[in-house]
Chain A
Amino acid sequence: GDSVTQMEGPVTLSEEAFLTINCTYTATGYPSLFWYVQYPGEGLQLLLKATKADDKGSNKGFEATYRKETTSFHLEKGSVQVSDSAVYFCALSLQTGANNLFFGTGTRLTVIP
């Protein structure tokens, strides 16, 4: 079935370190891919998205490229800040007329000063 496999956490980095959170997917058809972020005590917020192969989504210094050949959508940031500490979710949408998202298990990131 359709699913998202996400890098296990938690991840702890020092401020200004490079971040990669791996995400791979399995889907029939051509899904849209998303990264959502959940800050403590809040709901999920859309971080970035890509709707077709080779698209790059970017926002707030985060980037992810839709790689059809490797069925991946890895999240990267060149220099993390303490304020980036949150749980990050990779997700896909099948674009079948319904917008329901399939989420990965989430990766908790903690950035220490």
Chain B
Amino acid sequence: DSGVTQTPKHLITATGQRVTLRCSPRSGDLSVYWYQQSLDQGLQFLIQYYNGEERAKGNILERFSAQQFPDLHSELNLSSLELGDSALYFCASSVDPSNSPLHFGNGTRLTVT
């Protein structure tokens, strides 16, 4: 058990809808990362937060947004969903934003129908 908690485990929704994925980092970790794992794109870095502030941005679509709250949990919001957004979304956390290992949650599987 990595200590990173992601909810829900599975999500099925229709095109055009909006969903929110939630992540609680490991106790003591200040940095949170979001990754998308799809069959055709592999594991893609989306965005990183450190202590509530955005730290780095990757291949995150404009339809997607994220934030990290004062209690350090994070939410990834996906809107105007398309079939191609179906993927496994992983959250990871680390103690500091630049050198410490990432610890991954078990992911949220999103299916857009």
Interface residues in chain A, defined as those with a beta carbon under 8 Å from any beta carbon in chain B:
34, 36, 41-46, 49, 89, 95-106
Decide if B42 touches A99 in the complex (CB within 8 Å): no
Considering only residues 59-113 of chain B, those with a C-beta below 8 Å from chain A are 90, 92, 94, 96-107
Q: Is the CB of A102 within 8 A of B90?
A: no
Structural contact, B43 and A97, CB atoms closer than 8 A:
no
Q: Which residues of B contact A99 (CB under 8 A)?
A: 31, 33, 48, 56, 94, 96-100, 102
Establish whether residues A46 and B45, one from each chain, have CB atoms under 8 Å apart when the complex forms.
no
B55 interface residue per 8 A CB criterion: yes
The answer to whether A43 and B43 have CB atoms under 8 Å apart is: no
Q: Nearest Cβ in chain A — how far from B72, in angstroms?
A: 16
Please report B residues at the A interface, Cβ cutoff 8 Å: 2, 4, 31, 33, 42-43, 45, 48, 55-56, 58, 90, 92, 94, 96-107
What's the A-B contact tally at a CB cutoff of 8 Å? Answer: 59
CA distance A104 to B58 in the complex (A): 15
Q: How far is the CA of A96 from the CA of B97 in the complex (A)?
A: 10
A100 to B36, CA, bound (A): 13
Given A102-B45, A103-B43, CB of A43 within 8 Å of CB of B98: no
The answer to whether A106 and B43 touch across the interface, beta carbons within 8 angstroms, is: yes
Bound Cα distance from A41 to B106, whole angstroms: 7
Closest 4 CB pairs of A and B: A43-B104, A98-B56, A103-B43, A44-B104
The reply to whether B99 and A100 form a contact with Cβ atoms under 8 Å apart is no
